[in-house]
Structure 1
Amino acid sequence: MSAQKRPLSPHLQIYSRQITSVMSILHRITGIVLAVGSLGLLWVLVSLSLGEQAFAATQACLASGLGQAAVFAYSACLMYHFFNGIRHLFWDAGKGFAIPDVYRSGYAVLVLTAVSTLAIWWLALQGGAA
């Protein structure tokens, strides 16, 4: 018998992307981003405790374009992970496993993530302008 060179299990290139697999991967990625981003939150809190000068430097960093992008990404990841976590809680309770429900809840998570992230930033910018 000749040895066949083939994958031992189905490979990612075989399957077409589905919302379920993409959202599962995104849930893992957002969890990692939140863990790493929490170090940034810790940095803000430590700089606050170190006094005005340290906190002013932190504020300047966060006010930069890169800082704003990082905080926006962190808030979007937080909203996604929150809503997708609620979706998983329903699954843990045995609800929403029918394929139409899985797709409906998946799209609901994406819409709620976008709307809540934009609403948070809109409210923050309105408060910052006052």
Structure 2
Amino acid sequence: MSYPRPQSPNMQNYRPQLTSVMSIGHRLSGVALSLLAFGLAAWLVAGAAGPVAFDYAQAAMRSNAGRVMLVLAPLAVFYHLCNGIRHLIWDSVHAFELRNIYVGGWVVVIVSLFLTLALWIWVLT
């Protein structure tokens, strides 16, 4: 009995690489930012609707899920921003050597985490 071979590219046959993980992360952060825009709009509408609606919105933001979202939202913004700058550098036909691609990828990750941490330190002080 012969089984059909998987068609390439099959994600189960490949080891995740920094470039592929960052590409997926860029897409996910873009989707998250779109959803966060709807959440921001809902929060603003609740504020305009009156104190009762705004209290419900604030309670949602104080929930565990709301707090996780508030912590991860700046990370999504900074990651998407930094990775977008990296893509703009690539669009200018620079940093295409394999070593520079990996260095740039790690720079994006480190700078995104640093900016998120710096923002939260600034907000909480």
TM-score > 0.5, shorter chain as reference: yes
Residue aligning to 1:60: 59
The normalised TM-score by structure 2 is 0.91
Q: Which string of whole-angstrom CA distances, capped at 9 and with x for unpartnered residues, describes residues 56-108 of structure 1?
A: 32122212222110121222111111100010011111111111110111000
Q: How many Å apart are 1:4 and its aligned residue?
A: 6.2
State the distance in 2 between where 1:17 and 1:101 align: 18
State the distance in 2 between where 1:29 and 1:38 align: 14
Residue aligning to 2:116: 117
Q: Is residue 114 of structure 2 the alignment partner of residue 99 of structure 1? A: no
Residue 69 of structure 1 aligns with an amino acid whose one-letter code is: V
Q: CA RMSD in A?
A: 1.7
Percent identity, aligned pairs only, is 38
Matches within 5 A, 1:1-130: 5-126=4-125
Residue 55 of structure 2 aligns with an amino acid whose one-letter code is: A
State the distance in 2 between where 1:45 and 1:121 align: 22
Structure 2 unaligned residues grouped into runs of 5+: none
Higher alpha-carbon deviation: 59-68 or 73-82: 59-68
Structure 1 unaligned residues grouped into runs of 5+: none
Query: 1:64 and 1:8, CA in 2 relative to 1: closer, same or farther beyond 3 A?
Result: closer
* Number of residue pairs aligned between Structure 1 and Structure 2: 125
Q: Which string of whole-angstrom CA distances, capped at 9 and with x for unpartnered residues, describes residues 8-61 of structure 1?
A: 323112221110010001111111111112111111111121123322321222
Q: How many Å apart are 1:119 and its aligned residue?
A: 1.2
State the distance in 2 between where 1:17 and 1:4 align: 25
